[in-house]
Structures are given as structure tokens and as C-alpha cells.
């Protein structure tokens, strides 16, 4: 089927064009709204400014297709092959690109809000400054991608591959990043409030000055992480692994640290008022001048910890282990 035949049949009301061979077709500015082009070959096709709203392009091949400023809003592109495609300034709002291959694709200026890219292949993609609010990137391959200054607020990134990804100045408020490997990453000073980091690995990460308030971080690994001056108030870090982490001057008001591994951590001058540290392991931890007003340390292990000048008004120590701990007045607990 040639281009002219496709346009004529569409004008007559036909919409099913599955398995079409449209290699190098010239469809610039064409209107094919709601057309079914599933499993079609559109390699090297010219579709600039084409109207492809709500089109079905599942399993179609669009290798090196020219889709500049095309309207693909709410289009279905499951498992489509878009390697090397030019999607510059394309409207992809609400499009379904699950498991699509976008290696080498150009997405500069594209509208990608509320797009689903579950399991998509996006290595080295450039999304610098893009508005990715609410985007679904679960299990996507973003290795080496440039996400600098992108808005990923509310984005779903759980299970994604972010190795070598650049995240300078990125907005991640309320994003889902459960289970990700983010060790040694620099997220200092960022707004990470309401983020979901449960089960993620952030060992040796730099989170100094970051806003992690009201975040979900149960079972997170923060060993040797730098959290100086961070705001982690009202967050959930139960059963987290934080050995040797630096929480100096950190806000941990009303934070849940139940059963957390806090051995050898630096909590000097931190605010833990109202925090739940029951059953936590704080052996050899530093809590100089720490505010523990109303905190719950029931069953916690504080052996060898330093509590010099700590504020303990209304603090619960029921069943806590304090062997060898330095108390606020400088005395050593037997």
C-alpha cells in the first residue's frame, strides 16, 4: 500500500491498516488519528507534524522515522522500535511506550507528561530539563541518561537502571524509587520530600542538606551515607541499615527508626524529639547534644554510645541496653 492509497482509504472511513509496509513513506502533516498501524513497517518514514493521536502502533518499527512535532498524544506504542527516531518537539502526552526501544532517539523539547515507559530501553537518552511529571519509568533502562534539571515529581522509577545517569538539579518530590541501586550518588540539597526509597541502596550517597521529610524509606540501606543537616522529619526508616552514616544536625522529628541499624552513626546535635527508636541498634553511636525529648528508645541497644549533653526529657528507655554508655552528665553507665 502506498501513501496515497493510505490517505484515501482513511478519508473514506477505514481505520485498520495493520501490517502495512510504509518504509520511507512521506506522511508529513498527514491526519491518521485513531488509525490502527500495529505491526507496520514505518522505518525512515517522514511523519513530521502528522496527527497520530490515539493511534495504535504496537509492535511497529519506526527506526530513524522523522516525527518532528508529530502529535502522538495517547498513542499506543507498546514494544515499538523507535531506535534513532527523531521525536523532537513531538507531543507524547499520555502515550503508552511500554517496552519500546528508544535507543538513540531524539526527544529534545518533546512533551512527555504522564507517558508510560515501563521497561523501555532508553540508554544515553537526553531528557535534560524535560517535564517528566508523573511519568512511568518502572524497570526502564536509563543507563547513561541525562536527566539534569528534569522534573520527575511523582515519577515511577522503581526497578529502573540508573547506572551512570546524570541527575543534577533534578526534581524528585514524591517520586517512586523503591529498590534502586543509588550508592555514591550526589543528591545533596535536593527536594526529595515524600519520596519512596523503600528497599533502595543509598550506601555512601551524599544527601547533605536534602529535604527527605515525610519520605518512605523502610529497609533502605544508608551505610556510610552523608545526611548532615538533612530534613528527614516524619519519615519512615524502620529496619533501615544506616551503619556509620552521618546524621549530624539532621531533623528527625517524629521519624520512625524502629529496629534500624544505627551502629556507629553520628547523630550529634540532631533533633530526634518524638522519634521512634524502639529496638534500634545504636551501639557506639554519637549522640552529643542530641534532642531526644519524648523519643522512644524502648529495647534499643545503646551500649558504648555517647549521650553527653543529650536532652532526655520524657525519653523512654524501657528495656534499653546502656552498658558502657556515656550519659548526659559525662558518667559511664555500668
Q: Please, what is the Cα angle at 291 between 285 and 294, to 5 degrees?
A: 105
Half-sphere exposure of 307 (CA within 13 A, CB side): 29
pLDDT tens digits, one per residue of 75-116: 999 999 999 999 999 999 999 999 999 999 999 889 998 899
Half-sphere exposure of 95 (CA within 13 A, CB side): 30
CA quadruple 112, 78, 80, 142: dihedral positive or negative?
positive
Instruction: With beta carbons less than 8 A apart as the criterion, state whether 40 and 19 touch.
Output: yes
pTM: 0.85
In sequence order, which residues have a C-beta less than 8 Å from that of residue 85 and are 6 or more positions away? 62, 63, 64, 65, 66, 67, 102, 105, 106
Provide the residue count of the chain. Answer: 334
Instruction: With beta carbons less than 8 A apart as the criterion, state whether 301 and 322 touch.
Output: no
Q: How far apart are CA 163 and CA 172, in angstroms?
A: 17
Q: How far apart are CA 236 and CA 255, in angstroms?
A: 6
Q: Please say if the pLDDT value at position 201 is more than 90.
A: yes
Could you tell me the three cell numbers for 123? 540508554
pLDDT mean over 321-333: 96
Q: How far apart are CA 18 and CA 36, in angstroms?
A: 6
Q: Please say if the pLDDT value at position 1 is more than 90.
A: no
Q: Please report the domains of the chain, with CATH numbers, ordered by start residue.
A: 1-83 (2.160.20.80), 177-334 (2.160.20.80)
Could you tell me the three cell numbers for 188? 545533596
Could you tell me the three cell numbers for 6? 493510505
Q: Please say if the pLDDT value at position 117 is more than 90.
A: yes
Q: Please say if the pLDDT value at position 172 is more than 90.
A: yes
Minimal CA–CA distance to 246: which of 220, 209, 196, 273? 209
Q: Please say if the pLDDT value at position 2 is more than 90.
A: no
Minimal CA–CA distance to 222: which of 253, 269, 174, 255? 255
Amino acid at each position: 500500500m502506498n501513501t496515497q492509497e493510505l490517505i484515501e482509504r482513511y478519508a473514506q472511513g477505514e481505520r485498520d491498516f495493520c501490517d502495512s509496509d510504509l518504509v520511507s513513506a512521506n506522511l508529513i502533516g498527514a491526519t491518521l488519528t485513531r488509525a490502527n498501524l500495529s505491526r507496520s513497517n514505518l522505518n525512515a518514514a517522514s511523519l513530521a507534524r502528522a496527527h497520530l493521536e490515539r493511534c495504535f502502533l504496537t509492535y511497529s518499527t519506526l527506526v530513524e522515522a522523522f516525527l518532528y512535532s508529530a502529535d502522538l498524544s495517547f498513542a499506543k506504542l507498546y514494544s515499538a522500535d523507535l531506535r534513532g527516531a527523531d521525536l523532537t518537539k513531538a507531543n507524547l502526552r499520555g502515550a503508552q511506550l511500554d517496552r519500546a526501544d528508544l535507543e538513540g532517539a531524539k526527544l529534545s523539547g518533546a512533551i512527555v507528561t504522564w507517558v508510560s515507559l515501563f521497561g523501555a530501553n532508553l540508554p544515553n537518552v537526553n531528557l535534560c530539563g524535560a517535564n517528566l511529571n508523573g511519568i512511568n519509568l518502572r524497570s526502564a533502562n536509563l543507563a547513561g541518561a541525562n536527566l539534569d534539571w528534569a522534573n520527575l515529581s511523582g515519577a515511577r522509577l522503581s526497578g529502573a537502571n540508573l547506572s551512570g545517569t546524570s541527575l543534577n538539579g533534578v526534581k524528585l518530590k514524591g517520586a517512586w524509587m523503591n529498590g534502586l541501586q543509588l550508592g555514591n550518588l550526589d543528591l545533596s540539597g535536593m527536594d526529595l520530600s515524600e519520596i519512596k526509597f523503600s528497599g533502595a541502596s543509598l550506601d555512601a550517597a551524599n544527601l547533605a542538606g536534602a529535604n527527605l521529610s515525610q519520605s518512605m524509606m523502610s529497609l533502605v540501606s544508608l551505610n556510610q551515607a552523608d545526611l548532615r543537616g538533612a530534613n528527614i522529619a516524619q519519615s519512615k526508616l524502620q529496619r533501615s541499615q544506616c551503619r556509620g552514616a552521618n546524621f549530624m544536625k539532621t531533623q528527625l522529628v517524629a521519624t520512625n527508626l524502629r529496629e534500624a541499624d544505627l551502629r556507629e552513626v553520628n547523630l550529634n546535635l540532631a533533633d530526634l524529639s518524638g522519634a521512634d527508636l524502639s529496638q534500634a541498634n545504636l551501639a557506639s553511636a554519637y549522640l552529643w547534644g542530641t534532642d531526644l525529648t519524648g523519643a522512644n528508645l524502648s529495647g534499643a541497644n545503646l551500649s558504648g554510645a555517647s549521650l553527653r549533653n543529650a536532652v532526655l526529657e520524657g525519653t523512654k528507655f524501657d528495656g534499653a541496653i546502656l552498658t558502657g554508655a556515656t550519659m548526659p552528665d559525662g558518667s559511664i553507665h555500668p
